[in-house]
Amino acid sequence: MYCHEIDTLARFVNRTGTATFDFRIGCPSYKDPAKEDVQRFTSSVPQNWLSRCHSLSLYAPEEGWRTPKTTTLGDLLGTYRYEGLERLELIHTGTKMWEHMLETLMSRVENTSLGLRSLKIDSGRETDHVVKCVLERPAVLRRLRCLNIRDLKRSIPWTELPELEELWIHETDGGDTFIKNLDSRKLRKLTLGGEFTSLPLPQKIRHQLTHLTLELFNLGFPVNLKLPSLVYLGIKVTEFNLALIEAPKLEEFVFQVDPFDENPYSYPDFENTTLTPRVIRLDVQFALELGIWSKVEELHLTSFSEYDIGPTFTDALSGTASQRSFPSLKTLTVLHPEGRGGSITQERTNSEQVKNLQEIAENRRDAGCKDLEKLEIGWYSTNGKDYTLEDQSRAWWVIKWENCLK
């Protein structure tokens, strides 16, 4: 649910009945509700409505919420039980006006949200009360399986996070200080972004990681990484020499670029890598004679353009190029943005894209390659704007998938 007024929220709450829901509160146009509005709200909704909340996000744009304290709203959220809460997000709640709300909310979460598993903190300008209200609650931290931190600029009490399995850290300055003392025996998934100097990951953590993502990541000096348990590697809008990564068990590789870069379609240092993943997901065009393609069984390509994949890529997939870059390929999917022309033009373009993939399958068969087991094409909505990394995944915007083997 995402509502701009407390009266609208009451109507939504009553419509949910007994169902669980995700709740996001916060908007630049919001104001701290008057006490009479809160009283009217509490009298019109079920007493335990927030006990059905699965995910709660508090979002406070730094230019909004100009009232001195969100006292009334804080008192409101602090009167309920959060028994169904599994995920909590605190976005830009570092401003002083949120201190009262966080204190009352986190007190209730600590006492009632025994199933809390995921916490995201993007504190904004001030962090003192965020640390006090959130990170100085060992009972809450011990429940967490996933922790997402952005620009906190404070050390984390790792010993209070014994169940941590997934960690996201994005720091605009001094990211090394967060990870040099990282200690969590159950940690398997790590995402790093921001400014790092030497990537001082403890050896124990390197050995146990199964998933590593570098996202908007800037490293001061080259670092060799031996990751014996790694099965997933994501490189997203990041320059990193893949030759420095040793991951013999790697199964899946994701590579995303910045579509607004003047030259986004490049493979930095791919030539010398020893990585041979089975599944690859790409945002970029194709280059021949790269060993990284040799054992690929699944290839998932996402395009920024409604135009079809290029001839170089088509020839390589078809088995007609001098180098057979995908001899083990079983699955191929291609995702295009929805065209912005008229419906007739769009249908013609879609039909041509489907036909092109079908011809690739036929050419592979003629060239003696094994038949593809899955060949699909899809289209995603750009929602009227170009794709950016903030969209997280175009999979959220997919309009349609079509089977090209039928």
Tens digit of pLDDT for each residue in 51-97?
Answer: 999 999 887 755 544 444 555 666 667 678 999 999 999 887 656 66
Confidence of residue 226 (pLDDT cuts 50, 70, 90): very high
- H helix intervals, 251-342: 311-318
**Encoded tokens for 146:** 């996933």
| Bridge partners of residue 336, in order along the sequence | 379
Instruction: Using the predicted structure, report yes or no on whether residue 391 has a pLDDT greater than 60.
Output: no
Distance between CA atoms of residues 162 and 119, nearest Å? 15
Tens digit of pLDDT for each residue in 116-142?
Answer: 999 999 876 666 778 888 889 999 999
Q: Which residues of 299-325 are buried (b: 16+ CB within 10 A; e: fewer)?
A: bbbbbbebebbeeebbbbbbbebeebb
Weakest-pLDDT range from 38-47, 68-77, 219-228, 361-370: 68-77
> Average pLDDT of 41-56?
89
- Containing H/E element for 88? strand 87-91
- The rounded Cα 345 to chain-centroid distance in angstroms is 33
Tens digit of pLDDT for each residue in 188-212?
Answer: 999 999 888 888 899 999 999 999 9
Weakest-pLDDT range from 97-101, 199-203, 357-361: 97-101
SS3 of 140-204: HHCCCCEEEEECCCCCCCHHHCCCCCEEEEEECCCCHHHHCCCCCCCCCEEEEEEEECCCCCCHH
**Between 368 and 278, where is the model more confident?**
278
- Containing H/E element for 345? helix 343-366
Mean pLDDT, all residues of the chain? 81
**Encoded tokens for 142:** 């011990």
Instruction: Using the predicted structure, report yes or no on whether residue 325 has a pLDDT greater than 90.
Output: no
**Between 137 and 101, where is the model more confident?**
137
Q: What is the DSSP letter of 48?
A: T
Tens digit of pLDDT for each residue in 155-188?
Answer: 889 999 999 999 999 987 777 878 888 999 999 9
pTM, two decimal places:
0.81
DSSP per residue over 92-103, as a string?
STTSGGGHHHHH
Distance between CA atoms of residues 347 and 342, nearest Å? 9
**Between 251 and 308, where is the model more confident?**
251
For 1-163, give the CATH class.
alpha beta
Q: What is the pLDDT of residue 332?
A: 94
